[in-house]
Amino acid sequence: MTSEIKILHDELRTSIDQMILTDEFPDTGVSISIVSGKAESFTYNHGYSNQTQKKAVTNSTIFLACSLTKSFVATALLMLEEKKHIFLDKPLGNQIHLQDKTISDKLTLIDILSHRTGLPSNDLFWLLRSFNGYELREKLKSLDLISNSFRQTFIYNNLLYSSLNHALEDLTGEPLESFIVREIFTPLKMNLNFSS
């Protein structure tokens, strides 16, 4: 490691420390890695993965993905488009139906990825019960849309991203998790993940 890179790494560590220590939760666990080419060029661990047991975060700590799953779904879809298996700007056809047939006929993956479908978040609906892919797609048909908001308004929506998870499984013929492990984690040598 050159002295210039070491200085940059030290500055980065100091900046991260300052952000974390001024946070109202200074023991919050965080692990950061920067990969350059095929090698890790920077790692940083801070805080606890388990507050009660005071278990420190390490390079092997597995965190819940939560909304980061959206990034993986979007990446997987882009990978499939690069291979010409799907087209992000092509209407989805029978994959996902919303209450308004005209909108359903125009709905594309880009509309869902960019949260511009006109479907409100419906977060209570999402939190009260989990649905399999078929059930979720059926429920989407009954949810009201905000008028005149299709492709006009950003409305964050977990339900539609979840429906993308299931649509992706239909397209690839495999669970989303195994696709992500094979196509994203394995090439990056991220061997400790939700599938391990």
Q: What does the pLDDT read at residue 131? A: 77
Q: What does the pLDDT read at residue 105? A: 95
Q: What does the pLDDT read at residue 23? A: 64
Cα(61)–Cα(28) distance, rounded to whole angstroms?
Answer: 13
Q: What does the pLDDT read at residue 114? A: 95
Q: Which domains does the chain have, with CATH numbers?
A: 3-61 (no CATH), 67-185 (3.40.710.10)
Q: What angle do CA 25, 30, 31 make, to 5 degrees?
A: 170
Q: Distance of CA 94 to CAs 25, 35, 50, Å?
A: 45, 39, 44
Q: What does the pLDDT read at residue 155? A: 95
Q: What does the pLDDT read at residue 31? A: 86
Q: What does the pLDDT read at residue 115? A: 95
Q: What is the pLDDT along the chain (196 residues), one digit of tens a residue?
A: 677 777 778 888 888 878 777 667 777 888 888 877 777 778 888 888 888 898 999 888 888 777 788 898 999 999 999 999 889 999 988 788 999 999 999 999 999 999 999 999 888 876 777 777 788 888 899 999 999 999 999 999 988 988 888 888 887 888 888 888 899 888 887 777 665 4
Angle formed by the axes of helices 69-82 and 158-172, to 10°?
40
Q: What does the pLDDT read at residue 109? A: 94
Cα(111)–Cα(95) distance, rounded to whole angstroms?
Answer: 14
pTM over cut 0.85: no
